[in-house]
Amino acid sequence: MSDLQAIPKIYQIDATLDQRTYLVGGELKSWKGDVSEVYSTISSSETYKPTLLGTIPDMGEPEAMEALEAALKAFDKGKGIWPTMRVRERIECMEKFVAQMEQKREVIVKLLMWEIGKSLPDSEKEFDRTVEYIHDTIEDYKQLDRNSAKFHKHQGVYAHIRRGPLGVVLCLGPYNYPLNETFALLIPAIIMGNTTIFKPAKHGVLLITPLLEAFQNSFPKGVVNILFGRGRAVAAPIMKTGKVDVLALIGNSKSANALQDQHPKSNRLRLVLGLEAKNPAIVLPDADLELSVQECLTGTLSFNGQRCTALKVVYVHEDICETFLRQFSDGVDALTFGNPWDKGVKLTPLPEPGKSDYIQELIDDALAKGAQIINEKGGQRFDNFIWPAVLYPVTKDMRVYKEEQFGPVIPVLSFTEIDEPLDDMAESNYGQQVSLFGKDVYALAPLIDTLANLVCRVNLNSSCQRGPDVYPFTGRKDSAQSTLSVHDALRSFSIRTFVAFKDNSLNNETVEQLLDTKLSNFISTEYIL
């Protein structure tokens, strides 16, 4: 599996990528400072060892300040070319970018597999889904503008209401969806007229580099600035200035809180955050067992459980718990482990070198406190993987119950009364999604009504997920702030603003002239097809 000869030539790494280019102020600049090596936990040698993929710049405060100044200059106190540009022209820039992005599919998919261990079908899906997301965002932005191309009148006052940019956005994406979820922040932030500073995640960083040139030639200078390095070295100095208007981050609440605390004017800071979750599955006694097992397998172990939307704890009614555990454990052990390009592979190498050790700690803690590994393969170690362990019975004093494991270990609890999982959810720090399995509508109806007040998405007889991207994606408590989706993200990265005037001959004549001359990009009734 790790033998170089077993890797198809099309997916082999021909040469390391020495990335020394970054984008600031519309220029692709050369980096001459220190670099960090980027390794893959996938081996390309006969005896296992991590594969060196390339290097990235190890940047610090001077480069962070340079990028911030470029973004501020591009916004230019609201006078910049980009924030005052016509909607049609901003859309043309985004269409130019996505057309160039589509030409980079092969190399980005390949890097997704090597950098984060995502399977070939899932890597292709992430790329294609991101392209589709950009096209859908463009269409939704057109509709948003169409809806604004009019005047309202109330109590003798006319209003021309549009959505305007917020200013400078600092964008930090996650490693598990380094393209899709990062662009779910970056694309709507850009198209709404904001200027941006973007730092890729630690893992999944090289795959951004094929797009640097497209960003550079698609947007005006300083609209998109891309840096590399550690968050504390790059993002923290930017936040300390207080000149960032929006923090857009998908990651964990610890990082989000630390960055928020750096900002000296927190009341001015808009937050768009997608954070951690501990999404439960609740399997009722009348649930379709075969369907529930299959959906829970997908929910817990898709991309090795490295998703904020993954099912991270499973509640099963005691009447069917034994049967569920047997079928579910057999299903886990029947999954195929291999390299991302292997046909039919479901489990792949973990991209974080220390993740297997962490999962082992959770398993050991649970076993010491009374849990058992139910599946035969559970906990088996490889050089770059640990086999998913189904743990039962799990209790609240175990780390695996409290912590978001973000990896291949599955805690299972049985319940007799439905209030048990409901109370646990109410007490949880998280509130993103839940999967509810059952058929009795008299049992489901009150449960749905309650669960909708504890989380933001109730998945009926299906696993938790983010998509389709047109649906709202958010969470309660520590799981999220603001809402992301094709529709909602445009609103999260903008603010309603309008021109108002009293109904009199002077104002009416003035506004008519503004419309006729088309001198204002804001006051416009142009209908974009």
DSSP string, 79-144: TSTTTTS-HHHHHHHHHHHHHHHHTTHHHHHHHHHHHH---HHHHHHHHHHHHHHHHHHHHHHHHH
Q: Collect all residues with Cβ–Cβ distance below 8 Å to 232 and sequence separation of at least 6.
A: none
The residue with tokens 């082992």 is 360
pLDDT (0 to 100) of residue 4: 44
Neighbours of 77 (CB within 10 A): 9
Query: Cβ neighbours of residue 143 under 8 Å, at least 6 residues apart?
Result: none
pTM over 0.85: yes
Q: Which helix (H) or strand (E) holds 458?
A: strand 457-460
Report, in angstroms and rounded to the nearest whole number, the Rg of the chain calculated over CA atoms: 25
User: How many CA atoms, within 13 angstroms, populate the side-chain half-sphere of residue 265?
Assistant: 10
Residues with Cβ within 8 Å of residue 409, at least 6 apart in sequence: 305, 359, 362, 363, 388, 389, 391, 400
**Going along 352-406, which residue ranges are E strands?**
372-373, 381-382, 385-386, 389-392
Strands (E), 286-336: 311-317
Q: Within its chain, how far is the Cα of 266 from the centroid?
A: 23
Asked if 398 contacts 365 with a C-beta cutoff of 8 angstroms, the reply is yes
The pair phi, psi for residue 85, each rounded to 5°, is -70, 150
Predicted local distance difference test score (pLDDT) of residue 6 = 81
Instruction: Write out pLDDT tens, residues 102-158.
Output: 999 999 999 999 999 999 999 999 999 999 999 999 999 999 999 999 999 999 999
pLDDT of residue 296: 98
* Residue 321: predicted pLDDT: 98
Where does residue 506 rank: exposed (0-12), middle (13-18), buried (19+ CB within 10 A)?
exposed
Tell me, what's the pLDDT at 183?
Answer: 98
The confidence score (pLDDT) of residue 401 equals 98
> In this structure, are residues 396 and 270 in contact, taking their beta carbons and an 8 Å threshold?
no
Report the number of secondary-structure helices (H) and strands (E) in the chain.
16, 25
Per-residue confidence (pLDDT) for residue 72, from 0 to 100: 98
The tokens for 107 are 């190399």
Contacts of 425 (CB under 8 A, 6+ apart): 280, 431, 434, 451, 454, 455
**pLDDT for residue 46:** 81
Tokens matching residue 269: 């800071």
Helix axes 318-333, 289-301, angle to 10 degrees: 50
How is residue 452 annotated by DSSP?
A: T
pLDDT of residue 214: 98
- 497 bridge partner residues: 162
Which token pair is 210?
A: 């094929």
Residue count of the chain = 529
- Residue 2 is predicted with a pLDDT of 44
Residues of the chain short of pLDDT 50, as ranges, are: 1-4
Give the tokens for residue 404: 């978001």
